[in-house]
Amino acid sequence: MDEVPEVELCEVVNETEAQMIVNMLQEEEIQARSDATQGSSVFGGLPFEPGHRIFVPRSQAEKALKILREHPHFKHVKPAE
């Protein structure tokens, strides 16, 4: 099977937001994935989550960005450079 070249679409602040974006894009038949892992407990047990990146196939990146920009909750998400 040929490997599909991926690009980073965007970065979000938490695992929940990452999963919401991945699910939304997959519903639109975009092969999205994230590098989200559960946050670790630091600073006295408070959860710490670094940013989570969303990846899509290069050929679907433009369509994925358009979908994000049209969704009211994700208008603030900035595309990766």
Residue stretches of the chain with pLDDT short of 50: 41
Q: Which domains are present in the chain?
A: 13-37+47-74 (3.30.70)
Per residue in 28-45, pLDDT (tens digit) is 999 999 987 555 545 555
How many other CB atoms sit within 10 Å of the CB of residue 21?
Answer: 26
Beta-carbon contacts of 41 under 8 Å, excluding residues fewer than 6 positions away, are 47, 48
Please state the pTM of the whole predicted model: 0.77
Residue 30, phi-psi category: left (phi > 0), alpha (psi -120 to 50), beta (remainder):
beta
Task: Tabulate helix, strand, coil % of the chain (nearest 5).
Answer: 35, 25, 35
Give the integer Cα–Cα distance in Å for 28 and 42.
Answer: 37
